[in-house]
A and B are shown apart, each in its own frame.
Chain A
Amino acid sequence: MSETAFYLLAIPTVLAASGVLLLRNPVHCALSLVVALFLIAGSYVALDAHLIAALQIIVYTGAVMVLFLFVIMLLNLQPDPDEGAHVLAKLGAGAAALGFAVIVGAIVGEWFETAPPPAVLAADFGTTRGVARTLFRDHLTAFELTSVLLLVAVVGAVVLAKRDRV
């Protein structure tokens, strides 16, 4: 990915992601998340992973976020009245954020020092065939286990929703 493309996509992504945290209206927050996820798909395109980009838009932007938005609208959530958190809570949150930043900084710093040289991409990198081969041939067990996990989650959700009717 060229440096220009990275900054053109990364800066708006970070801005949109901060919007999720900073905006007051829940619908605006959800929309910021949509924008952030869409721009991440743009980053995938710039990294030659076209399939992942398309899936990112179909799954996250097209399906998951529509559901989020739907739930927020149906619950008719009002903007956060901002009563102001307790001083201790603010201090605690600040300390936790600082700790997180230190850990991330340490990991990234280490990674930069020992980062391997950029690998040469295979000809079928990011294409549907390439991804499918990795997913369904090299990592088939992991893929099947994930699908079982998702199935368990779906069945669990149905059971929880139906509990009072049994």
Chain B
Amino acid sequence: MTDWVIVTVKCLAVLFMVLQVSALLLWVERKGSALIQNRIGANRAAIFGIGPVNLGFLNTLIADPVKMFTKEDFVPAGADRVIHQLAPFLALFPALVTFAAIPFGDTVEIAGRTVELQAVRLDVGMLYVVAMVAMGVYGVVLAGWASNNRWALLGSVRGSAQMISYEVALGLALVSMVLTYDTLDLQQMVRSQGELTLGFLPAWGIFFQPVAAVIVFTSGMAESKRTPFDLPEAESELIAGYFTEYSGGKQAAFMLADFAEIVVVSGLMTTLFFGGWQVPYLTSAGWKLPGLDLLPVAGWLVTLLQVGAFTVKVLFFCWLQILIKWTVPRFRYDQLMNLGWKGMIPVALLNLLITAGLVLLLAEGEA
């Protein structure tokens, strides 16, 4: 019974963490883009006809969803009704469940049990992430096809070609990370990043695999279809791309999926390259700076610091992605494909080859 409660609480916590951060990102995007473009942005709303009043970020967090969910739910003539209804959920589902494999803290003791701060600990955690990323294509493809709209279909064709192309580079870069850590288990990867290398540097993935970090971040952004990779939407060419024919709540579902994907990419970057929940030099006993004495820290404080560090890192990468979106202009389609197939994939392959060679050399050195 207690086990069931713990698992349920963990799953709900992760789900709501992704949803909350996604909702916050909606506000960050609206106000952040305004900041970048030197305007004020959304700052007032009339609630039940009273106002307009400025409620700070509550405006966007409450007014925007209320607006979206009270709009007419429109299905275009000639659309495939069932698939048109299904597509937003197919887009949202993979984005929300991917985070289940990402660890957000070390273990804690609850009711005599050691609980991993991770929704599900999977032996094949990395493959699970790749599998769920691969599922994300369906929402895009089906939304465009079911809408019976030329622009939407063009958007979904672009979207699926882009996502499949960048999945290859992403997968190859992830394989080199698997070789580096010698495991597919994401929690194990984070654990091994808690050690020190050369006696003083935290053994974070970025120091071993900077090339893979760039590839994972870039193809992650391409997977989430945001500027400079937003050709599937391309509002100046395709109206709104694959979700042109969606309105109200279903359009909100596509937006939410986009933001959830940002959170997932950030979580993946944090876990693989920036030490996950590790705070530099903080062990379960306390703070141990190289060359200095151990500074004892209470166990609950260590857990809190670690979960806090994970959150800060994830939020940083979310902000970085929004910053990039509003700074860099959109690629042309041939540039996008060239970057994917002639740039990222060869570099990722070379990186994998070098990694494999080094791992083999080091293993023979030990034997």
Q: Which residues of A contact B (CB under 8 A)?
A: 25, 27-28, 31, 34, 50-51, 53-55, 57-58, 61-63, 66, 69-70, 73-74, 127-128
Give me 30 A-to-B residue pairs in the complex whose CB atoms sit less than 8 angstroms apart, sorted by A's number.
Answer: A27-B80, A28-B82, A28-B83, A34-B138, A50-B122, A50-B123, A51-B123, A51-B124, A53-B124, A54-B124, A54-B128, A55-B127, A57-B131, A58-B134, A61-B131, A61-B134, A62-B131, A62-B134, A62-B135, A66-B137, A66-B160, A66-B164, A69-B138, A70-B141, A70-B157, A70-B160, A73-B141, A74-B157, A127-B123, A128-B124
The residue in chain B whose Cβ has the minimal distance to the Cβ of A128 is B184
Contact (A61, B160) CB under 8 Å given A66-B141, A69-B141, A128-B123: no
Nearest CB to that of A65 among chain B residues? B138
Contact assessment for A73 and B145 in the assembled complex, using a CB-CB cutoff below 8 Å:
yes
Which residues of chain A have C-beta atoms less than 8 A from B80's C-beta?
25, 27
Contact (Cβ within 8 A) A61 B141 = no
Residue ID in chain A nearest B144 by CB atoms: A73
A66, B153: Cα distance in complex, Å: 15
- B141 touching A62 by the CB < 8 A rule? no
Interface string of B115-128 (1 = CB under 8 A from A): 00000001110011
Among B82, B131, B134, B145, chain A packs the most CB atoms within 10 A around the CB of: B131
Instruction: Render B301-331 as a binary contact track against A, CB cut-off 8 A, 1 for contact.
Output: 0000000000000000000000000000000
- Which residues of the partner chain A approach B157 to less than 8 Å between Cβ atoms? 70, 74
Q: B58: CB under 8 A from chain A?
A: no
CB distance from B38 to the nearest CB of A (A): 42
- Give the Cβ gap from B276 to chain A, nearest Cβ, in Å: 20
CB neighbours (8 Å) of A57 from chain B are 131, 134-135
Residues of B within 8 A of A34 (CB): 138
Contact with A along B145-170 (1 / 0, CB 8 A): 10000000100010010001001000
A25 to B157, CA, bound (A): 20
Q: How far is the CA of A130 from the CA of B130 in the complex (A)?
A: 20
- Overall SS of chain A's interface: helix
A-side contacts of B141, CB under 8 Å: 66, 69-70, 73
- Chain B interface mostly: helix
Inter-subunit contact A61/B123 (CB<8 Å) = no
What count of chain B residues pass the 8 Å CB interface test? 23
C-alpha spacing A80/B315, complex, angstroms: 50
> Which chain B residues numbered 5 to 47 have a C-beta less than 8 Å away from chain A?
none
Contact A27 B83 (CB under 8 A): yes
Query: Shortest beta-carbon distance, B235 to chain A, in Å?
Result: 23
Contact between chains at A58 and B130 (CB < 8 Å): yes
Q: Does B137 lie within 8 Å of A54, measured CB to CB?
A: no
Give chain B residues whose Cβ lies under 8 Å from the Cβ of A74.
157
Q: How far is the CA of A28 from the CA of B82 in the complex (A)?
A: 10
Shortest CB distance B253–A (Å)? 18
Instruction: Please determine whether A66 and B138 come into contact, CB atoms closer than 8 angstroms.
Output: yes
A128 to B124, alpha carbons, bound, how many Å?
7
- A51-B123, A57-B131 provided; 9 other pairs, C-beta below 8 A? A27-B83, A51-B124, A53-B124, A55-B127, A62-B134, A62-B167, A66-B141, A66-B164, A69-B138
Contact in complex: B131, A54 (CB < 8 Å) = yes
Contact B138 A54, beta carbon cutoff 8 Å = no
Cross-chain contact A50 with B138 (CB below 8 angstroms): no
Residues of A within 8 A of B184 (CB): 128
Beta-carbon contact of B134 and A50 below 8 Å: no
Cβ–Cβ < 8 Å partners of A73 in chain B: 141, 145, 153
Cβ distance B48 to chain A, nearest Cβ, rounded Å = 43
- CB contacts (< 8 Å) of B82 on chain A: these are 28
